[in-house]
A and B are shown apart, each in its own frame.
Chain A
């Protein structure tokens, strides 16, 4: 008990002097808010690292994996076969909005209210543009290419062979081991964009057909003749790619996109506050702008790694 008493005593004396217990000292010479923002970002970094490492482990555990430059090769306005171009534009949007955020923080240090509002507005536009691009990318993957959290139509050939046509005869479409394919949904017009014309006249009822298999979800798995290796001469059908790909993609880019979204919301609130002169009155160099800036740069930082593992490698 004696010890407790003496601790309370010291505490009281320190409080009188505005000591450590009363926040009289700033650890690491940083304010409470800034320090806690750093530690929040550290914990968030671990969450993202957990997600990305899970992606890596599942990718290593799978014999094949969808090739990013095949999966992400479409862009708006009917652009096809443009690998990684759209996602590079998305990266630039985040980098630019990060730079405008730095400018907002700099103007904040100079107590220049209008400068802060102007550069924050540009940052918000950059973030919203990124979200718009991501919405287009998701819509393309879900509505056009029919990828969901548990269906992955992006497959990889593990045999060399030649495709069969609807009647089961060989075509002149050959492929090698490691070539990628996208399993389309059966129906009229789906071949229009890969130069095969409309094949609406074929029978697309669920089941086994001479040249293809239509599964319950309506996916058309084309058949092919193996031309090399131990299975030479046998007829096989296209298989779906590793299931985990869709779930990992939507969860990880979705989690990052949600960070961008909440970042945009907070940027907006802080921009309004800055415009009202609230931070001018505090006379601390617009520290709130600096804190949301830390968060916004972190979102850009995470994208560096999401970009690396999902799109580049």
Chain B
């Protein structure tokens, strides 16, 4: 900032505007492409969905980098300041991995429980049918007790 002329830094700002706008438009285009709005049927291709997701995350991280380094002038700060602000966010990488894995395991557990419930329901029905003949006796027994 300090070693740049006023005109140059003004130009840099409008370059940033164009850059962020274009990246945002590209993001929206890829998002709609992955959901099958641009070319129909693409939403059924699984690997394309993952690829589009990856592209979107990379582009968003690039936008974040540009905002922090150019607009917030992190580029012109002392290295120690940049590190002390940016390094702690590295912890989030582990948080993301851990919580997303946890979420997936909740889903799997719920599915397991649903499947088991269905099985038990079937077994109960089968038992009832088998013991159907003895039903009368059981009720009599319970009545005495």
The residues of A with any CB-CB pair to B shorter than 8 Å are: 27-30, 35, 38-39, 41-42, 45-46, 49, 53-54, 56-63, 67-69, 83-84, 88, 91-92, 95-96, 98-99, 101-103, 106, 109-110, 178, 293-294, 297-298, 300-301, 304-305, 307-308, 311-313
Contact = CB atoms under 8 A, between A and B. Distances in A.
A304 B103 contact: no
B78 A63 contact: no
B103 A56 contact: yes
Tell me what chain A mostly uses at the interface: helix, strand, loop, or mixed: helix
B80 interface: yes
A30, A304, A311: residue with the most chain B Cβ atoms closer than 10 Å: A304
Contact of B71 (A27, A88, A297): A297
B76 to A, nearest CB: 10
B35 A83 contact: yes
Contact of A99 (B16, B25, B64, B107): B16
Given A41-B85, A57-B100, A103-B13, 17 more contacts: A28-B84, A35-B81, A42-B88, A46-B88, A53-B99, A57-B106, A60-B100, A60-B106, A69-B35, A69-B37, A83-B37, A84-B28, A84-B31, A106-B10, A106-B13, A110-B6, A297-B68
A38 B85 contact: yes
A211 B3 CA distance: 73
Contacts of B21: 92, 95
16 contacts: A29-B77, A30-B78, A38-B81, A42-B89, A45-B89, A53-B96, A56-B100, A61-B102, A92-B21, A98-B71, A99-B20, A101-B71, A102-B13, A106-B10, A308-B27, A308-B57
Interface residues of B, number: 50
Contacts of B6: 106, 110
A28 B81 CA distance: 6
B119 interface: no
Contacts of A312: 27-28, 30-31, 56, 60
B42 interface: no
Contacts of A58: 103
Interface of B: 1, 6, 9-10, 13-14, 16-17, 20-21, 24-25, 27-28, 30-32, 35, 37, 43, 53, 56-57, 60, 63-64, 67-68, 71-72, 77-78, 80-81, 84-85, 88-89, 92, 95-96, 99-100, 102-104, 106-107, 110-111
Nearest to B2: A109
Contacts of B53: 313
Given A30-B81, A312-B27, A102 B71 contact: yes
Nearest to A91: B24
Contact of B67 (A57, A59, A110, A300): A300
A312 B43 CA distance: 14
A215 B96 CA distance: 38
